[in-house]
Structure 1
Amino acid sequence: MATSRIRSGYQRRILDELLDGPATVTALAARLSLATSHTSSTLRTLRQQGLVTRDEREGVRGAPHHLSPQGLIRLQEDALERLRDATRASRPEGTNVLLTRDGPLVVLAYGERIPSDLIWLPPRRLSVEGAPLLSSSGNARGGAWCAVRSAPQWFDLDTLEPCDPPPPEMPLSDIRTWTQDGRKLALVRARVMSGQDRWTMPPGTWFETEGADESPPAALNRSGVDLGTVQGTEVPCRPSTPILGQVGEAWRRESLLGGQKGLIVLRSSRPDAIAERPVSLLHLWMRHRHPRLRGAELDRRTQRLLERLRGDRRGRPSAVAHAALAAFGPSTWVEHETTFHELARSNEEGARAIWEWALEHAKGAVQGEWTLGATHKKLLKRVIADGRCQLLLAGDARLREHKQGTWLVDIKGERWVHLNEVTRLRLTRDHQQSPSQAMWQQPIPASAASLLAHERAAVDETTARNTTAMERELRRALSAWPDGDDNLADTLEHEHPLAAWIASSEKERGRRWRRIGDRVPDAWVGLHAPQNASDEWLSEAANRAAFEEREAYALELARRYEQQPRPRPTAPLLQPVASTARLLTLREGQVPDASDVTTWTADPLHFSAVLPRVWDALEPTPTDLPNAPLLTWHTWITAPNAPPSIDAIIRRCEDLPCEWWAPWLPEWLPYLLASARGRRWLSDCNIVWPVVVAAMDSDGPPGLAPPTPALSFEGRDLSDVHLVEERQSTAALFDVAEGVMAAQEGRPTPVGRTHPEACWLVSPPHTWPTFVGLGLPDGPVGMALSKRRLDR
C-alpha cells in the first residue's frame, strides 16, 4: 500500500478530531485550542482537497464538517507511514510503540490484544534502567490514561495490508510470538483523559504494557452514581451528572436505578400490590387539578379525598377519588415523605405529579425512569436542569435530544457511556437475568418458603423423581408467579395440581384450594398469603404449613379475632393455629381455655409471647413436651435451685429469649468461660451479649422470679475470655468482658467492637456521661443504649 505522511500538523489534528464525529468550526477551534480563523482556513484547504465535506443544508454559518472517505484513507496512510518508519530498524525492547501525539490525540501500534477501552500508557520505556522519573524542569513524571477511540486495525508490516487479528482464544504469550514472527501490529487511536501535562513519552518510543500506578481519570470519579466498571478493568465509572440514558430492557433499568442512593422514581417489573405514597403528593395533585383553589379550601378538599381513599365510603361516589385511583393506583397514604415512588400503576397524570413532587420535596439526589411523552418537555427540562437530578433513564431514545453531558446507552447487548462529545467507554453489563428467564434455567425451589425468599434450593427427592413433563409444567407455573395466570392454572389443575397452585393468582387461590387442596404438598401450603386467606382456611388448612408459616397465619387470625367475636373452641377448631390465635388475644387477667392450652402445648407457636399468659394453666407435670424451648423452660422451673450444668446453661441460652435468663448472666458467664465446652460454644454462638447485659434487670422466665438480691459482675473473674479466639463472632463477648474488667480495675470504659459505646451497658445508666446513648439507634446495641438512657 502506498503511504505518505500528512505534513501539516494542523491538518492532521483536524482530520483526527473529525474522526470522532462532525463538528463546527467553533467546536473544533475550542477542542484543539486554535484560533477560529486559523481553523476555518485549514478546513477550507481540506475541503478543496476533498478530505472534508461541509453540510450546508441549513446554511454556511454554523454548518458541521464531516470527515470524507478520502480523509479517512489519508489518516490511515499517515499512520501506516509512521508505522513503517518506526519498524524500519530492528525492534528494540518492547511490544508496543507510540506513533504520533497531537495534544490529547495519540496513535499507537500494539503487538498484543487491547484488553479494554481504557488503557494505561507508562511514563517511559522499560529499557531505561535506573533513570529517575523526572522531567527537565524537575517535576515528577507519570503515565497517562487513554480512552480508545476506534476498534484496533491489524496490519502486516511487510505489505502494510490489513490482516486478520489473532484468534480470541490465543493466550498473550502466543500473541506476542505471533506478532513478532509474522511482523503484525494493530493500529489504535486513543485520546488522553488524564496525565497529559506530566506524560513525556516521545513519539517513536517502544514500551510494554504495565499495571497502572496512578488513580483512574478524574472524569470517571465525579459523582456518587455508579454505572459499573469499565470493561476489561476494575475501574468504576462514576461520571459527572446529570446522566441521561437509554436502557432498553426494563430489568436492567430497575437494577441500575435500584443500586443508587436518594429518591428513586421507577416503574418496577414486579410492583407491590399497594404502593406507599406521601399525603403531600396527593395535595400537590389536587393543587394541579384545581389551580384556582388556595389555602384552607384546598386543604379541606384534600383531606376529604384522603378520607375517602382510606376507606370512608359515606356520601355519593366521588369522581375526584376515581381520578386519584386512576392516577396513582391502590396506595397507602402516609404522613412522612418516601424515597421510592412507583410508576407501575400510575397513569400519565400521576407520573407528572410524582416528578413535580420530587422537584419540590426531594432533599438529596434524585434518579428515576422517564415515562412521560413529548407533551411534558418543559417538566423534563426542569428535572434535568435541577442540580439534584443525577440519573434519568428511558426505555427508548426520547432523552437523546436533551443530553447535556454524560449519555448512557445500553442496547443490542452492549453498554456504552459517552463522557462528552468525543470520549466514550464500554462498561461491563449486569448479566443478571430477568426473573422469568432465570426461572427456566435454575433448580426448581423445594418449597413455598424457598420461592418467597427468592432462593433456588436444590430439588428435593420428591421433585427429582418427577417426569420431564412435570418439571416443564412447574417451570411454566413458576414463570407466571407471583402475578399468576389463572387460565394456565385451569389447564394444569387436573394433571399437575402443584403447578396449578403455583400459577394461580391470589384472588383465585382460595377457591382453587377447595378443589385441589388435598393434592398440594405440605411444603407448598405457605404460598397462600395470610391476608388473602379465609378464616376457615386459616383455622384448618394452615396447620399443614411449615412452622414459620403457621406463626404468620396464627398472627393474621389473631388480628381478625380482635375485630370480631372469637368462636368457642369446639372440636373441629382445636387446631394449633386457631388455638394460638385465641391465646394471642388474651388480656391481662383473662383465663385461657384449657383445651386451647393443651392444643398449643403440642405445637407452641409464638412461644415467647404466649407462654407468659398460659404458664400457670399448664399441667403440673406434662409427660410429653415435643418442643425443645418448652421442655427447657419446664425443666428449669421444676428445679430452680439446682446448680445448672454447662449443657443446661447452653440450652437455656439457645432455647429461651435472652430477657428470661439475663438476670443470671453474671453467674453463668464465668462458668462458661472456665470450661472448654463453654468457650467453644461462646466462639460460635450469635448472641449479642451487650443487649443481654442491658436486660439483666428483667423479670425472668414465667413462673420463676430473678435472684434476690440481683446478681452483678462485681468480683466475677472474666479473665478466661482471653482463651477465646478474637474474631467477628466473638466481638460482642469481648465488649462485655472488657467493659466488666475495666470497671473492676477502675480504668476508663473502652471503645466497643460492636458499637463504640457498647461497653457502657455494663455500668448503671446514672453513671454514664451525657453523650452516651444520644446517637441514632443503629442496630440492636444502639437500640439497647437508647432504651437504657430513656429508662434511667
Structure 2
Amino acid sequence: MTVAEISRFTNLRMPHVSAELRRLRREKLVDSASTAGTRGASIHLTPSGRNVVIQDIIHRAQSCLPIPSTKSDICLVFKDRDRLLLASTVVFNQLTIAIPDRQPTGEYSSGNQGAQWILAEVESRDGLWINPHTGKIAEMPDVQLNPNSIESFSEGDRPVYVFNARMIGEKRPISLAPGTWFTPRYNEVKHPFHPQPGFNLRIGTLHEDVSPVYAPNLLIIDIEGRMGQLLIARTIPDDYLMISSIHDSKKNPSSIPEDVLDCWIELAHPRTKPSELRRRSQALKDRILLRRRSRVPEETLRRFRADWGNSQFEEKETASETISTKDLGIRARKALIKWVLQSNEDIPVAIEVGDDIPEYMFKQLLRNSERRIIFSSNEYKAQGVARLSSDTTRPLPWARYTDQNGIETPIRIDDTKLSVAMVDSNPRKEPSSSPLSVELTVSEVEDEYISLALNEKNEQDDYWANLVESEHPEAALIATPRKMRWNRWKRIKGRVDQKWMDLVRFEDVPDSELHEFINISDKRKLPLFSEKFSTMVKDNPNFPYEVRPLTPPETASSGAIWIASRLLASAADISPDMTEDLRSWAVPAWLSDIPDRSIDSLSGAYKIVKEREKKALLDSVHSAARDKPNSDLHTWSRFVRVIEGNGRLTPSFSVKIVRQIPMEWFAPLAEQILLNMLKNEQWWNNAELCSIPWAALALRPSGEPHHFPGSGDLNHPGPSDGFLNALEESIRYRPGIEILDEASVANIHDLIMSLRNATMGLPPYIGRTHPLVGWLAQPLHKWPEIAHTDLTGGDPLITARLLITRSRTME
C-alpha cells in the first residue's frame, strides 16, 4: 500500500501517516521497494513487523478464555472503529456476520431494548489459528467438534480461529467488551440498506437469513467478463428494454425502431443542415423498409452499412425486448444512447456503455430518476449512483455492491427475477400464494371461486363478476377490470372485509368521486395519495376542476377536506381561473378540520389569499391547530411563538421542527436547533437530524430575509462566533469527536470542517455531501468562477446556495 492508500484506509491525514511510517521505519517494522520519501512507493511490513502484529493478535486472543463448547459462538477480540477482530472455534466461512452493539440479553431485542445487531463483512483470507492457552500459533485441528466426544466439551488446549471483519453501513458505537462470546442473530439484523428502495430488480443476498438487496432506480453494473454480465442479465426483469452486446445478435435477432435513424443521421453528418438531415433520414427509412424508392446519397449509405451492418429496422413503438449491439459501429451505439435519452416512453432500460462512448453521454444517462441500468466498465465518475462491481477477492457469484450513499458490501448475486409486488415482502413470513396485495386467510385460499378468479379471471372478466357478485363478492372484485372496481366496491363494501379495498387503486377512481374514496381509505396511505394527487394536478389541467367536491365547506366530509387541502397545496400548479374558488371554498373547508399533514396547504393558502386577509388566515390556522396536537400545523404554531419570543426551543421540540417544518422555514434558527438536537440521547441515530444539509441552512449571511407564513420580518442571524466551538464541545461530550468519521453524520461533518477551515484561513473543505460545500463558509470575495456543471453531484439545497452565490460572509 502507498502512503495515500494507508491514509484513506485509516482515515488519518497524510502528515500523521507519514510521521507514523517514519517511526516504524526507524524500528524496522516497515519497509518499501523504493527509497524512503519516494512518491508512490509501496509500503509493506518487514518480517519483524509481521511478527509484532501476530504477537499482538495472540496477546489479544487470550481474552477469549474460557472457550465455549458450541460451534456457532463468536468472540469479540478487539475493535477499532469499524474494524473488528473476531474469533470462533471453527473456520468461519460465511460472507457476513451479525455483531451486537452491546451484550445480548433475552431471546429477542428491538428498538432501544437490548442489543442492536449490525452486519459486518468477514475477511476470512487473513484468518489465523491461535492457542490462547499457550499463547502460540496453532495448526488447524485435525478433528472438528464432535458432539459424541467428551473431549469436545472440555477446555483442554482447544485453539480459536481469529479473523478480521469490517462493519457495513451504519457504524454504531459498540460497547461489547473484548472477550465476550455471543451467538449471531441474523434474523434481528438491521439491514444496512434500510429502507429498501422498492425497485423490482433483486441483486442478491448478504446472508441467507437476511432480506435480499434490491436496486434503486439507477444502477451501474461493472462486472468483468462475459459470464458475469450474462449472470446479471438473467436477473433483469422481462419488462426491460435491453440494449447491449451481451446477447449474440445472430442467436437473438431483434429489429431496431426506425426512429433511431433520426439520431444516427445527426452523428453521421454532423455539419449538415437540419432540413437536409430530416430529408436524408426519411429517405433512408423509406429505402430500408421498402416503402418507396428514394434517393439516398452514397456517402450516407456507405456510413450506414459500416455502422449498422445487417441490422433489421422496423416501424414500431418502443417495447420490452433485447437489441444487440455486438456488431454495431460506434456511431450506431451512440445513436441508440441518444434515442434512449430522447424517448418519452415509460419502459425501463438496461443499456451498455462501452469504453469508446464519451463521458458526456454517460453523464446524460445519469441525469434523471427513471428506472435505468447501465452496463459500464469505464473509469467515469458517478457520485451518488449505486454500483455493482466485480469482487477482486472472490469469484462469481460474489460481487461488491455500493449504494448511492457510498455504503459498500460484498453480495452474492442470484438469478431470481422478482415482480414489484414481491419487493416489499418480509422474508421472515411465509410468502402468500396470492398475486394480490391482499393477505388471504386459509378459508379464502381454499375458496374455489376466489381461486378461479385469481388464476383465470383476474382483472379481465366483468361479465362473470356480475354473475357471481351476489354470493361471492370477493371473487367478483378480483375478476373486475381495474377501472371498474370502484363501482363494484361501492356495492359490496358492506359485505366484505375492509382489506379488499386495497384492490381499488387511487388513479382508477373517477375524479368526481375521489373524495368518497378518501373517506373510507386507510389513513396511513394518505401520504402516498398526496404524491399521486400532486402528479395528477401537474399532468392534467382539468383535474382540479373535476375533483372538486360539490359540498359546502361547513358540511365537508373528511374526504372533501382532504381534497381541499391538496388543492391548496398544489395552488401554484392550478389555473388562476380557480383561485377565487380556492379562497371561498377550499380554505374554509380545510380550516373546518385540518388534516394532520397540512403545512404545504398553509403555504399554498397564504399565497392565494388577499393581503388584507392574511392575518385573519393565520389567526384561524393558529386556532385550528390548537386542537390538533399531532399535526404539523400545531408544530408550526408553536414555532411561530418561539420566533415571536413567546416560546422556548427545547431538544424534543427541535426534533419535531426538523421532522415537520420545511427546511427553508427554520433556517434562521438552524444553529440553535442543531445544538439543541445534539443534546438528545443517541442523536447520531436520528435520521431526521443526520439527513439535513446543515451547512446550507446555517452558513448564511447575517440579515438574509426569510419569508413564510407567520415569519414577520425574520432575518437570518448568520453563524455566531462560538458556533464551531459549541458544535465540537457538544459532540466531544457525547459520543466523541470520532463519530464524525461515520458516513451517517456526513452533513454535520461537512458543516464543522467548512467552519474550521474558514476560521483557520485554510482552503475550502472538499465535502462528502457536496464537493464544494466548503465555499459556503468562505468570504464571497474569495470565490472563484465556478462552472454550473461543477455544481451538480451533491445535495440539491447546497447546490442551490452555490448557484445563487450566497456565503456566510458577503463582503
Q: What's the TM-score bracket when you normalise by the shorter of the two chains?
A: 0.3 to 0.5
User: Which has the larger Rg?
Assistant: 1
After TM superposition, the score normalised by the length of structure 2 is 0.46
